Amino acid sequence: MLTAQQRTIIKSTVPLLETGGEVLTTHFYKMMLNEYPQVRPLFNQAHQASGAQPRALANGVLMYARHIDQLEALGPLVAQIVNKHVALQILPEHYPIVGTCLLRAIREVLGQEIATDEVIDAWAAAYGQLADILIGAEEDLYATHEAAPGGWRGGRWFRVARKVAESDEITSFYLVPEDGGALLDFQPGQYIGMRLNLEGEEVRRNYSLSARANGREYRISVKREADGRVSNYLHDQVNEGDRLELFPPAGEFTLRPSDKPLVFITAGVGITPALTMLEAALETRRPITFIHCARDAGVQAFRPWLEAQKAKHPQLRCYFCYSHPRPEDQGDANGLLTHALLEQWLPENRDLDAYFLGPKPFMALIKRELKALGVPEAQSHYEFFGPAASLEA
């Protein structure tokens, strides 16, 4: 339990975290990943190299320090962390490693004059409190997965039943349990964790589930990234009949109950979680608008499926926008998605629910434009495929 004095000390470090938090977390990750190789599989090294992971942690630590007196003010941040941890199988034994390295990083970056024994003790207590909250919430989710029909704890082996090219860049993998048992249901918008061994090195990744739960198989749809170690491995070396180890579905970015008009705005592979949400929403009478952006029709995935849904469901409208169309491409607009296009394509009633996913600059644009067009901010929902970041200018 944090004392009142320790809370005061934590809050006094907020200005330091605002100006130097990313330096601190960068040092923390470098230390931890060098000295504790057993935790390296839990972190995407591309996110380390880009600075996205240290930046996300710095923001998380800052938010925690700011709200140390009112943890409920953290809102969805805790649920996001818990679901990411469960998808990657973060376990209680990982927390002491993180705590040890975080306290060392605070002392080494801030120096002993600022990071006094009292400051370190306060942060040790604060970290212990947070670790207890996360470990408890994660265990609840692990136990729920294990007890549910078709559920499991830890890794479970699946076979690739089908491998289907959806576009020039995106390939779908249909995965069935190797043990032939029942399959855990999931919420539209959730993702699964995957554990791979590449040249003797363990790596873990999360992939959105791109087709609704049917009790028989999961589908993920993976974009080949130019420097993506795992995506290229899946595209080039994983074939039908091969085995993949999966963790149970997780994720808090799901379709929320509502009868308001519904809008999906996606770019690139950001379409994948929106597909399961759309399938669920089509079972209702809600008016639905689906806007998808891609470089060209060759890299766009799932257009035939979307057009088939549009033909079957009168409440669905679809629009396709190509930033660099080929001569043969036929979209509804060429170039980048603009304010004018959104104004034209959105329902007249702006009291709607919007879900948008794609690259960070795209999501930042959509967030600004939806607000400018009168969509309530509380009804605009988005998720990051990688570490969480700010969409503010």
Whose CA is closest to 164, among 175, 148, 154, 150?
Answer: 175
Residue 58 pLDDT: 78
Q: What is the pLDDT of residue 50?
A: 61
pLDDT beneath 50, residues of the chain: 389, 393
Is 166 annotated in the active site?
no
Task: State residue 67's pLDDT score.
Answer: 85
- Residue 303 exposed, middle or buried by CB count within 10 Å (0-12, 13-18, 19+): middle
Task: For residue 205, list its beta bridge partners.
Answer: 194
- Catalytic entry in 64, 95, 127, 142: 95
Confidence (pLDDT) at 251:
93
- Show binding-site residues for heme b: 85
Query: Quick one: which of 207, 9, 19 has its CA closest to 120?
Result: 9
> Which residue of the set 127, 138, 174, 383 is catalytic?
138
CA–CA gap between residue 157 and residue 113 (Å, rounded): 52
Verify whether residue 18 is a known catalytic residue.
no
Annotated binding-site positions? 85, 191, 205-208, 268-273, 384-387
Supply the pTM of this predicted model: 0.91
- Reported as a single tens digit per residue, the pLDDT across 160-172 is 999 999 999 999 9
Cα gap 158→244, rounded to integer Å: 5
Q: Is 328 buried (19+), middle (13-18) or exposed (0-12) by CB count in 10 A?
A: exposed
The mean pLDDT value of the chain amounts to: 92
Count of other CB atoms within 10 angstroms of residue 385:
18
